[in-house]
A and B are shown apart, each in its own frame.
Chain A
Amino acid sequence: MTKGACCLALVLLWVARAAMAQARIDERWPLDAAGSVRIVHPAGRVRVVGWDVDSLAVVGTLAPGAGRFYSAGDGHVRKLGVDIPADERIAGRADLVVRVPRRTNVWVKSATADIEVEGVDGTLDLTSVRGAIHVVGTPQDVTAETMDGAVEIAGGTGRARVKTVSGAILLRGASADIGASTLSGAIVVRAAGWQRGGTGVQRGKFESVTGDVRFDGELGRGGVVEFETQSGNIAVRVPARTVADFDALTIGGTITNTLGAAQPTPRANGAGQALRFSTGAGGAQVTVRSFKGGILLEPK
């Protein structure tokens, strides 16, 4: 009887351990140098890393309840990810590291998983509901959207478009064409000039409803940059030698300018302030609009 009870206990222990055990993923497939990868990753973290090898490799772990790992595709396009039955809630996290050829186009969709991309030069299309998105490198084109996760794009993106609802946005590096939109998050842009391998921002649009917007960096010669908020404050800090035409207007806020001698004037109908001035011909066009947020123009 005692022997039987021990056996039963051992079996139960083994079953419990098996149920608790994390599933390990370690798979590899050939992939073209400029192929495409589509990743669906509900919860946890997915890290996509570019490498100089013509194959795609996935390593990682799936906690119990995280779902089932799947993959399909060929040498041009591969889909992979973690599948959760439609009637089940996410009960565990999955952590994956996906290595792809450097020029791969990458599409990632997550629910709460954080998305990290590093050293991939192709096009990136990254979407998360609540996870953070982090990109480092020189991708050709980045589109990143998340509800309340933070987004950071660092490096030298050719073109970047970022949207959040309440997540903070940080764009830093030498990107020429960037756009960021948020409802209640903050936007911070640190744009590198030629000293750090950039050209300054050639085309930029930064908009929020209540979030503050702060631009700290260089404007490209001939660039067009727009800032717009409903009630967030806007701060534009550029080198004192910047050549640009500035056009700022706020309906219910105030404008502070220390970039030059020009000072704001009350608008014609008495509501708000406006300021237009130029620091030289042929420079950038900077337009700043806020409904009731403050506007600050100052040298860095």
Chain B
Amino acid sequence: MMCPEMEVRLNEYVDGTLAARERAAVEAHLAECAGCRAAIVELRALVTAAATLPKSIPPKRDLWGDIARRLGKRERGNGKRVWRERAFWRRALAAAAVLVIALGIYRLLPPITAHYRPAGQGWVAVQADFDRASGELGRALALERHRLRPETVALLERNLEIIDAAIAESRAALARDPANAELRGLFAAAYRHKVELLRWAAHAATS
């Protein structure tokens, strides 16, 4: 089992961001601690696995299932793995955020681009993609919100209401005028704000 007080240093050791003196201290500790050595092996495997991921990933329909399964493990009280799953959670959340943004850019490109869909075509799918991806972020955040201060949670909820209302307005306007490029831009901007908000909350919860 890893020494709890070494969690941050081991992460930084693997990331290569430790100063020389601190690095030497960690190496001295590793020479005497089998638990931390095992943790280092796992961390390195995680980093290596993450590095092999493609730069862009087409959205998989079962993304949330994987996140929920791993988070569920932690909820069942396996405290020894908390630090590792937190790292996974951060990466999953980042990947989901990238996915939402990538989707938004791809689907909302102006007519001059090759990816453009004819007016009105596919908008139901676009909005469903947005909803699913931001829903994934929201559910992941819900599992971590206990880490946030109550006033931060209140702020988050207040602003989520604001942004959801803005998205609903844009969505309704788009339903009436689906070919309107300006409305698409405003709709995309509103969703971008929501992703930013969720990213912020996740950042606050995990740091």
- Interface residues in chain A, defined as those with a beta carbon under 8 Å from any beta carbon in chain B: 72-74, 77, 79, 85-86, 109, 111, 129-130, 145, 147-148, 163, 165-166, 181, 183-184, 207, 209-210, 228, 230-231, 249, 251, 269, 271, 289, 291-292
Q: With A147-B200, A184-B159, A230-B166 in contact, do A73 and B19 touch (Cβ < 8 Å)?
A: yes
- Point out the residues of chain A lying under 8 angstroms from B193, CB to CB: 181, 183, 209
B148, closest chain A residue (CB): A129
Complex CA–CA separation, A272 to B69 (angstroms): 47
Chain A residues touching B, majority SS: loop
Check A209–B190 contact: CB distance below 8 A: yes
For B, the interface residue count at a CB cutoff of 8 angstroms equals 34
Chain B contacts with A in 173-207, Cβ cutoff 8 A: 173, 177, 182-183, 185-186, 189-190, 193, 196-197, 200, 203-204, 207
Of the listed residues B22, B158, B166, B173, the one surrounded by the most CB atoms of chain A closer than 10 A to its CB is B166
| B1-32 near A? 1/0 per residue, CB < 8 Å | 00011011000000000111110000000000
Interface residues of B (CB under 8 A from A): 4-5, 7-8, 18-22, 151-152, 155, 158-159, 162-163, 166, 169-170, 173, 177, 182-183, 185-186, 189-190, 193, 196-197, 200, 203-204, 207
28 cross-chain CB contacts under 8 A: A72-B21, A77-B19, A129-B152, A129-B203, A129-B204, A145-B200, A163-B196, A165-B196, A165-B197, A166-B155, A184-B159, A184-B162, A209-B166, A209-B193, A210-B166, A228-B189, A230-B169, A230-B190, A249-B182, A251-B186, A269-B177, A271-B173, A271-B177, A289-B182, A289-B186, A291-B166, A291-B170, A291-B173
Residues of A within 8 A of B19 (CB): 72-74, 77, 79
Min C-beta distance of B118 to chain A, whole Å: 18
Write out the residue numbers on chain A whose beta carbons fall within 8 Å of the beta carbon of B151: 130
Main secondary structure of the interface of B (DSSP, over half): helix
Which residues does chain B contribute within 8 Å of A230, judged by CB atoms?
Answer: 166, 169-170, 186, 189-190
**Distance from B202 Cβ to chain A, minimum over Cβ atoms (Å):** 12
A251 pairs with B152, CB closer than 8 A:
no
**Chain B proximity of A202: nearest CB distance (Å):** 22
Among A77, A85, A183, A269, the residue within 8 A (CB) of B162 is: A183
Contact B189 A74 (CB under 8 A): no
Residues of chain A lying within 8 A (CB to CB) of residue B163: 183, 209
Q: Hey, which chain B residues are within 8 Å of A228, CB to CB?
A: 185-186, 189
Question: What residues of chain A lie closer than 8 Å to B170, measured between beta carbons?
Answer: 230, 291
Q: CB-CB < 8 A to B189: which residues of A?
A: 207, 228, 230
Minimum distance in angstroms from B109 CB to a CB of chain A: 17
On chain B, the residues within 8 Å of A291 by CB distance are 166, 169-170, 173, 183, 186
